[in-house]
Structure formats: structure tokens, C-alpha cells
Structure 1
């Protein structure tokens, strides 16, 4: 009974982590604004959120008396920094000035498959033919969705520039997760994200000061920045990793399937975006390919430990 309660609590912590990550898209769009009504610069949001998380990480690492990373661990941490702290939020911020949060949720739904594919290539992990088939199918669905959305909005039947940015964000996050996974066993999952944020401070703090907004910014944009800095970049990882440790990585990682739908739902009250059947349908189709594709994957436990989300 005690083990069952432990696993149930772990599952709920995993759901909490996924919910926190799911709101990232809407909060990033609040922070950056749109192309017609810009708020904070995507550069400032990227540096600002990393600086906020870095300050919290310093407190955590100091209070837990965490050891410094070894020289061998610094390269993976630096790669995780480039992917998760810089590449993903920056590309996402520019993309969300041009497309809705719901649109971005469908594209970024490829993140678990992308992470698994990068892990299979970089870490030489086994992936059967079925995985690559479903990975290709999921990618094809995203392309078709992007083409249909562009045509429906009068932009012609073509691939939008913002979709390229979103795919770049997915790739950057995947690379960051895989390299972070290489030191997760030695450092501990929570300390990996903390060290990434702390190592980024010499870049994030000056970057935030240099890109500080010179014009009036809405309160909602500042609240969006605080959310992505405190929750998306930091607290969400604690809930997610602790949930997988308590409930089992295989079971809890399946809660990722909820993330695109939670992102789409969050955008309704936060951004006033409508619920579109096309978006929901393609989100369901893409996540089905993710679910089926992962059945053909035999990764090491550490990869399942990091193949979430969202950032």
C-alpha cells in the first residue's frame, strides 16, 4: 500500500510538471507579444528567464552544499545550456510572435520523438525500424498541419518561417536534454538544471541588462517572464524529475502525451485563442505517433528520464 501511494504521488507530480511546462507557450507569447503588438524582446525573455532561474539555482546548490561539476561534466552541461537555456527559448520566442500558442503546441509535440531520435544517434541507443517510421509519420503530420494553416490564413500553400523556428526550437531542446542526460546519473536530475542555469549566469545577466526594454511594457508581459523563469525553467523540472523518481520513468513519462492539449487549453483563458478542431485533431494525431513510436524504442532509463518537454 505504501509503494502504491508513493507511485501515485509520483504520477501526480509528473502531471504537475507537464502542466507547468504546457503553460510555457502561452506565457512566452504573453511575454514577447505579437508581431503587431510586441512586448518584451525574445532576446530579453531568453536571458531574463535564465537569470531568474540561475539566481534560484544558486540558492538551491548552496543550501544543499552541492559539489562543483568535474571537468568531464562541463561539456555536457555547456551543450545543455546552449540547447535548453538559449536555443529553445530564443527560437520559441521569435516564433510565438508570428503564430498562436495552439499552433506551436502541435509543432513542439514532436519533442519526445525528437529527443529519442537524437539520443539514438548521439548515445548509440537502439531504435527499431518502427520507431523511425512513426517519427517520420509524426514529422509529416506537422508539415501537413503547417501547410494547411498557412493556406487557411491566406498565406498560400507554403511552409511558414515561424514553423522552421519551432522545429529549430525542438531540435535545440532535444540536443540539450540528451547531453544533460549524460551527467544526470552523476549529478542528480535537479542539480543538472541548476548547474546549467548557474553556468549561464555570466551570459544571462549581462544579456538581460543589455536587452532591457526601453519602452513601456504591459504587466502581463512581466508576469509571463516571471512564470517562464521561475516555473518553466526551474520549478517544473523539480516536480517532473521527482515524479519520475517516485512513480517510475516509464509510467510517468507517458503523461507527456497530455502536454500539447494542456498547452492548447491554457491559451484559451490566457490569450483568448479559440479552440480549433484542426489544431486539436492534428495534436491528437501527432501524439498518437509519439505514443506508438516510443513502443519501438529501447532506450536507457536516463533518456526516458529527460525526454519530456518541455521547456
Structure 2
């Protein structure tokens, strides 16, 4: 049986990319591990260790900070997770891909110090973000706690993202955010909506000022807000999640009524989706969440 997951969303400002930013981040995580010894998974906002000062050119910082995932930064992050014995999502980073392009990528490190997953942002915020787009949705197994999906900021605005993560079996979706703008209000609505229509836990961690406006949130599979921060410049949103709750909700329905993963009759024909030049196949739909 899956065991409950003690989660810590770290709402904080980014480290400016520089010579000592990884040392600063390591000190931060060590302090968090001492202050919150029960937390098994620490999650940070988008581009947390790749920030830029207001007087810096973001494009220049992006190209300077970009590394291969197995480069020095990746080795340091893996070693930190192993040292502390925690699951670590250090926010997303600028990744230099094998194709030479720069991606906004979220890596995940296990307590053994292994990178067990990486997700490239599929929907960069055009035209403002110039990173290359990823081409796949990513889930991973978090030990005996359950299955987790990854999304980055603007991804949450596209229902296809969370729907596919839930279909792939995600019990919890981590949305890493760096939003300093007024549309954080809409993102909070989307966190609840994505949880409801996919019957999945949503955890949206936003950066703190000046990089974001906070308001990080944890939502359960029926859309109830379990934990929420305000615009604090520094806070850790903690919660303990029983990820088996997603399976109960999917089996018996939201509020014991609505079963979004079983809406089709046995003899229903596929539904054409002209936008995608594809279709919804009722039999395939029913096979998820996988």
C-alpha cells in the first residue's frame, strides 16, 4: 500500500545565477531539512537556481546558465538530495540539450542521489519566453508514495497537460511557477479546475517577491484547497497527502457522484477531434489513469 507523502512547497525568491548560487541553494535546503525533518519531498518554483537581477538581460542569463543535465549543476543537486536523504525538485533549470537548444526543464532527484525524471516545459509563455518547447508529458513513481506528474507554469493553462498526466497515472501534479503578474488569480482557479476535472492532487508552488507574487496552493482531487500561502516573501507550505485518495475519487466519483474517467457507454463510437486530427477512443480513455 502507498504510504502518505509529507510535502514541502518552498515559496521563495530565486537565486541569481552566479558563482555561489548553488552553494546558497544547498545552504537553503539543508536549513529546510533541519527545520522540517518529516518532509520527504521539497519542491521549489520555476527557475529557482537560474534567476536574474532586474538589471540583467534574461536572454543572456538563460544562455549563460544553461548546462547539460549531467553537468556540474546536476551533479551538485544529486549529491545534495543524497546527503539529506530527500526527494528534491529544485525548481526548473535552463538545460542545454543535445541539439544545442535551451530548454526550461524540471529535474527530479531521489534520496539515493539519482536523477529519476526530467520534464521540458511544453508550453513556454510565448512571445515572452524563448526557450525551446518540450515534446512529451512526464510522470514518475515517488517510491512507495504514488505517481507524480510535472508541469511548469503556463503548462497549467492547457487542459491537455494535466489530462495526459492524470491519464498516465499521476496521483499528484506538481506545477512549478514563476508568476509576478496579476494572472496568478486565474492560475489559482486553474489549479482547482485541473484537480476537479482530472481527479488528481494539484500542488502549485509560485516564487516569492520580487520574482513572483506567491500564493502557492495544494488542492485535493475534489477541488478543495488543503493549504494556501499568501504573498509572503518566504514560507514553506507543508501538507501530508494520502495519494490513494485519487483512486477513491476516481472509483466512486467526486462527491460520490461524478466519475470523469468512466463517461462512455459500451457501444459508443470514437469521437473525432478535428483540432488534433485525432480522436477520443472510449476504450483507450477507460484504460487510464494507468
Q: Report the TM-score when normalising by structure 1.
A: 0.28
Q: Which structure's residues are more often strand, by fraction?
A: 2
The structure whose RCO (Cα within 8 Å, separation 6+) is larger is: 1
TM-score by length of 2: 0.29
Question: Which structure has greater helix proportion?
Answer: 1
